[in-house]
Structure 1
Amino acid sequence: MKAIQLFSIVVFVFCVACNSEVKNYEPGMQDKPASVLVFDKTKWQTKEGRNYPFRDKMVNDVVYNDTIRSLQQSQIIDLFGEPDRSNDNYIYYLIKQERLLFWPLHSKFMVVKFKDDSTVDWIRIHQ
């Protein structure tokens, strides 16, 4: 019985720790969160070691920007640089990552999904 309780606690902690934050945004939305920094292409692409020191401070300016949402896939890649990862109609930009030595403990990505005509379908934060 104790093993079942212990297992339940471990599963609960694991589920709570694995948070997937999805922020839905519609163009023209009024209650969008403020960014610490305004988007700057040079700062966005700045990389120090494995980290991007400015992305987390400006990601809200990107996610909630109607102008960026009107761009084509090639324009997005020109603006933000090569994505950290991509597959099918999705591209992923690493925002920040907490590590324990070589193991990632927590990662935050900006995900851009494109429609078949290469226009932006949505932009979201995934943690």
Structure 2
Amino acid sequence: MNLRHDRLRVLGIWLAVGLVYLIWVRATGWGIPCPIHTVTGLECPGCGITRMLTALSRGDWASARAANAGLFYLSPFLALFLGRALWLWLTGRKADKPVLRIAGAGLVIFLVVWGIVRNLSL
């Protein structure tokens, strides 16, 4: 097997794990709790992502937005960023490091600011 087939296999496994987790959460309502929220009571930038993705899988846009508005609005950009990174990984191509660093830094800054803002109203 070549490297590309190995990477496709890894991707397939992760997609299958994600699908099984989605089915589990939809069937039972039980998800993995956020350790930050459990310990501090504060919501991290990712709190609600399982509820958001579960709502999106049902086509419930309002509930998805309510679960995590920051990630809901960031999702198209995050999908492009991760999709490009995935494509580069699958094809074995090198990333344009300055663009990747700027985009990655922008995402980190957004998530830090969102993590602060969403806890101001608690």
TM-score (norm 2): 0.33
Structure richer in helix, relative to its length: 2
Larger RCO of the pair (alpha carbons < 8 Å, separation 6+): 2
TM-score (norm 1): 0.32
